[in-house]
Amino acid sequence: MNFTSKPLSCFQITVGKFAGVIFFFKDVYAKKEKDKVNNYEVSFSYDIVGGNYRDRGYDKSQDHLNKIVNDTNKELFLEEIGKILNLLLSNNDLRIFVQWIT
């Protein structure tokens, strides 16, 4: 998974369908799965803070056409950033505040 870290623990996806989207994780809860190395049961939410545009040419009434992440592909976006989060947890990355569940 390719991504770039931004200040304040923001991340920008650099390749693929969601390239350019800048977001941060919030409300991260994790539990290490038994008998599996670097695999976690995770719940989280996120906020998109930038880069969520394909084209800025649409007017306000058609703003939904500008979005890279929209209602149609939101589940796919969650899968993609979930992979990023699992990698960050595996590496004990300090940019993510995790509430561990035992």
Phi-psi region of 45 (alpha: psi -120 to 50; beta: other; left: phi over 0): beta
DSSP 3-state assignment of 26?
strand
DSSP 3-state assignment of 39?
coil
Q: Round to whole Å and give the CA distance between 2 and 16.
A: 9
Distances (CA, A) of 98 to 14, 36, 48: 24, 19, 19
Report the predicted TM-score, pTM, of the whole model to 2 decimal places.
0.77
Look-up: residue for tokens 């969520």?
52
**Residue 2 pLDDT:** 73
pLDDT digits (tens, 9 = 90+) for 30-88: 888 777 776 778 899 999 998 888 776 777 777 667 788 988 899 999 999 999 998 88
**For 99, phi and psi rounded to 5 degrees?**
-100, 105
